[in-house]
């Protein structure tokens, strides 16, 4: 997608900028690194002229946050890349040092140490940038949001660069690639702007268990993707409790314009759900140790697959494997544990081991005609 007055895909600009920011503390980004960053977004390498224009465009955004809406900059000005040591009273945000193969691109501005991410739409884009498989299945929404914000992004991007931990305050992607539909894209746009503006949301919700339609009003906190399903996390305005709502069960979603709320300063999706096996954290959110004994025929699969960030492996005997997790909402592990059959044994906790035994006995009784 081509953007007037930008001349380049905004994702290419972001990729180049992040590369320069990342390499500035170690001597700067080389031309090869700039080319790779650009090519990852555009699918083809840039020319030297394109690189110069990219850097000049980024400098315009840093020096004039509203430059996107002004008339195009003359070509001769765009192609003048500042050299380190020029006598400008205020140096450009990005300068070039060295010549030829030794040329490096340096970010000269001071990065703020107390930066905070205050726009959940940016968190959404950065989360998708960290999860390219999700971005690729929803290109339209990614492009729309990028286009809306591109004129406002670059004058603060140096602060946002340091906010990888802040991203998960608003958006957390766990598990496999989600299935995207147009309805979810519209819901996400509404939810993200409501979080940014601190507006409550009103919608009808089809209860997962009963199927009944319920009217809900919530204070939206963030979006969580787990195993192909997107959830809205928020505080129920009536029950005064944190709840999760499947996006595909939400209808008639709208903002309550005459409303406001204050999000807890210490709340992040990562803190709330990061340790959970699925999306349920249990009644108290307590983290438990789960130990499994994996037989030889399945051990290799666990060695090459991470099922949870807390996963730890220890070889037992000649070929078996002990796998340990630190998770909350352990009950959600039951279907996953049952599917392995006799190749995986639960060692602890004891209560989980007993539930597995009971489930297996019930299945045996059913097939033997005792139920």
Given this model, what pLDDT does residue 351 score?
94
Chain centroid offset of residue 195 CA: 16
Segment 62-77 mean pLDDT: 46
Residues 302 and 232 in one domain: no
Residues 325 and 185 in one domain: no
Q: Which residue has the higher pLDDT, 98 or 172?
A: 98
Residues 76 and 164 in one domain: no
Is residue 138, in this structure, part of any structural domain at all? yes
In the listed set 107, 141, 157, which residue is the last one of a domain according to the structure?
A: 107
Neighbours of 258 (CB within 10 A): 7
In the listed set 107, 132, 148, which residue is the last one of a domain according to the structure?
A: 107
DSSP characters for 28-60? -B-HHHHHHHHHHHHSSPPPHHHHHHHHHHHHH
Is residue 282, in this structure, part of any structural domain at all? no
Residues of the chain with pLDDT > 90, as a percent, come to 19
Residues 79 and 161 in one domain: no
Residues 174 and 240 in one domain: yes
CA distance 83 to 74: 19
85 φψ region: left (φ > 0), alpha (ψ -120 to 50), beta (else): left
Is residue 22, in this structure, part of any structural domain at all? yes
Is residue 28, in this structure, part of any structural domain at all? yes
Least confident of 115-124, 193-202, 256-265: 115-124
User: According to the per-residue pLDDT averaged within each range, which of 3-12, 89-98, 242-251 is highest?
Assistant: 242-251
Residues 59 and 130 in one domain: no
Neighbours of 124 (CB within 10 A): 24
Residues 125 and 208 in one domain: yes
Q: What is the pLDDT of residues 169-226, one digit of tens each?
A: 666 666 544 445 556 777 888 888 888 889 999 999 988 777 788 899 999 998 887 7
Averaged pLDDT score across all residues of the chain: 75
Residues 88 and 209 in one domain: no
Segment 240-268 mean pLDDT: 89
CA nearest 171: which of 260, 257, 273? 273
How many domains does one find in the chain? Answer: 3
Given this model, what pLDDT does residue 205 score?
92
Is residue 279, in this structure, part of any structural domain at all? no
Is residue 164, in this structure, part of any structural domain at all? yes
Given this model, what pLDDT does residue 3 score?
37
In the listed set 269, 304, 322, which residue is the last one of a domain according to the structure?
A: 269
Given this model, what pLDDT does residue 113 score?
46
Q: Which residue has the higher pLDDT, 273 or 202?
A: 202
Given this model, what pLDDT does residue 69 score?
35
User: According to the per-residue pLDDT averaged within each range, which of 22-26, 75-79, 129-133, 201-205 is highest?
Assistant: 201-205
**Between 120-130 and 139-153, two packed helices, what is the crossing angle to 10 degrees?**
120
Q: Which residues pair with 235 in a beta bridge?
A: 219, 242
Residues 150 and 255 in one domain: yes
334 to 165, 278, 340, 360: CA distances (angstroms) = 31, 11, 10, 11
Is residue 276, in this structure, part of any structural domain at all? no
* CATH number of the CATH domain containing 353: 3.30.70
Q: Which domain holds residue 51?
A: 10-107
Is the pLDDT reported for residue 237 higher than 80? Answer: yes
CA distance 322 to 289: 13
Residues 257 and 300 in one domain: no
Q: What is the pLDDT of residues 307-331, one digit of tens each?
A: 888 899 999 888 889 999 998 888 8
Is residue 155, in this structure, part of any structural domain at all? yes
Residues 159 and 97 in one domain: no
Segment 111-128 mean pLDDT: 56
Q: Which residue has the higher pLDDT, 196 or 293?
A: 293
Residues 147 and 237 in one domain: yes
DSSP characters for 92-123? -SEEEESSGGG-EEEE-SPPPTT-----HHHH
Q: Which residue has the higher pLDDT, 150 or 169?
A: 169
């Amino acid at each position: 997608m081509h953007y007037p007055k930008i001349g380049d895909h905004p994702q290419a600009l972001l990729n180049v900028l992040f590369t320069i920011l990342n390499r500035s503390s170690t001597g700067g980004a080389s031309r090869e690194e700039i080319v790779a960053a650009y090519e990852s977004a555009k699918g083809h390498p840039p020319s030297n002229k394109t690189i110069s224009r990219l850097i000049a465009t980024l400098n315009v955004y840093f020096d004039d946050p509203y430059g996107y809406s002004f008339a195009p900059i003359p070509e001769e000005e765009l192609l003048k890349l500042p050299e380190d040591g020029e006598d400008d009273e205020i140096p450009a945000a990005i300068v070039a040092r060295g010549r030829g193969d030794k040329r490096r691109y340096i970010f000269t501005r001071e990065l703020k140490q107390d930066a905070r991410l205050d726009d959940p739409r940016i968190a959404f884009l950065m989360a998708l940038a960290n999860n390219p498989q999700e971005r690729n299945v929803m290109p339209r929404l990614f492009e729309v949001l990028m286009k809306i914000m591109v004129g406002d992004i670059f004058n603060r991007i140096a602060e946002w660069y340091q906010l990888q931990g802040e991203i998960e305050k608003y958006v957390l992607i766990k598990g496999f690639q989600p299935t995207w539909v147009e309805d979810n894209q519209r819901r996400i746009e509404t939810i993200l702007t409501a979080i940014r503006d601190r507006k409550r949301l009103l919608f009808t919700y089809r209860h997962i268990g009963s199927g009944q339609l319920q009217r809900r009003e919530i204070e939206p906190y963030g979006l969580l993707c787990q195993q192909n399903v997107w959830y809205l996390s928020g505080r129920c305005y009536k029950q005064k409790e944190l709840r999760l709502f499947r996006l595909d069960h939400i209808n008639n979603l709208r903002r309550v314009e005459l409303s406001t709320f204050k999000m807890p300063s210490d709340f992040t999706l990562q803190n709330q759900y990061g340790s959970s096996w699925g999306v349920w954290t249990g009644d108290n959110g307590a983290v438990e140790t789960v130990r499994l004994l994996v037989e030889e025929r399945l051990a290799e699969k666990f060695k090459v697959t991470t099922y949870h960030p807390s996963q730890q492996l220890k070889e037992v005997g000649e070929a078996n494997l002990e796998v340990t997790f630190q998770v909350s909402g352990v009950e959600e592990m039951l279907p996953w544990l049952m599917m392995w059959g006799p190749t995986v044994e639960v060692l602890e906790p004891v209560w989980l081991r007993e539930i597995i035994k009971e489930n297996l006995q019930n299945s045996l009784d059913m097939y033997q005609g005792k139920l």
